[in-house]
């Protein structure tokens, strides 16, 4: 069973641009932070450089922006991971500020044999945690 995971993120000055709010690509930093923390806490592994054989590589990224976030604000990044094949995981995100949804999106990652740069089955640790 997939499970939601909440990561608290502080918006930094470097996340913003001259429009005074977080730059659109900055949200991918928040997505990445949430995945890495999820892997550490829930799977007990590094990510995306899992071990000497296995890496995860991104095959798609998407974000939709509803409201603006500002330097110094604290955001809640809600992550819902899901197996989409034996080789791919989709991470869905919803980012909230004080209960308001300000951004959502997803990242799809595929496990590879880092030495051959070929897709491989997702490590068991992930499958056991993500599959019901």
| Binding site residues, its own copies, CB under 8 A | 10, 12-14, 16-21, 23-25, 28-29, 32-33, 36-37, 40, 46-49, 55, 57-65, 68, 70-72, 107, 114, 117
Cβ-based neighbour number of residue 66 at 10 Å: 10
Rank residues 47 and 96 by Cβ distance to its own copies and give the closer one.
47
Number of C-beta neighbours around residue 106 at 10 A? 17
Judge residue 49's burial from the number of C-beta atoms within 10 Å of its C-beta, 0-12 exposed, 13-18 middle, 19 or more buried. exposed
Tell me how far CA of residue 27 lies from CA of 14, 36, 68, 119, 123, in angstroms: 12, 14, 11, 27, 27
User: 6 or 49: whose CB is closer to its own copies?
Assistant: 49
CB of 87: closest distance to its own copies in angstroms? Answer: 15
For tokens 């930094």, the residue is: 12
CB of 1 to its own copies, least distance (A): 26
Q: Which CB sits closer to its own copies, 1 or 18? A: 18
Residue 36 C-beta: closest distance to its own copies, Å: 6
């Amino acid at each position: 069973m997939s499970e939601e995971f909440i990561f608290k993120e502080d918006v930094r000055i470097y996340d913003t641009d001259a429009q005074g709010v977080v730059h659109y690509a900055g949200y991918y930093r928040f997505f990445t932070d949430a995945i890495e923390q999820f892997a550490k806490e829930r799977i007990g592994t590094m990510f995306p450089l899992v071990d000497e054989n296995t890496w995860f590589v991104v095959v798609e990224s998407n974000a939709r922006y509803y409201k603006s976030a500002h330097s110094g604000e604290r955001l809640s990044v809600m992550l819902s991971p899901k197996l989409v094949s034996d080789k791919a995981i989709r991470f869905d995100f919803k980012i909230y500020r004080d209960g308001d949804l300000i951004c959502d999106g997803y990242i799809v990652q595929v496990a590879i044999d880092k030495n051959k740069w070929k897709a491989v089955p997702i490590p068991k640790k992930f499958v056991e945690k993500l599959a019901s």
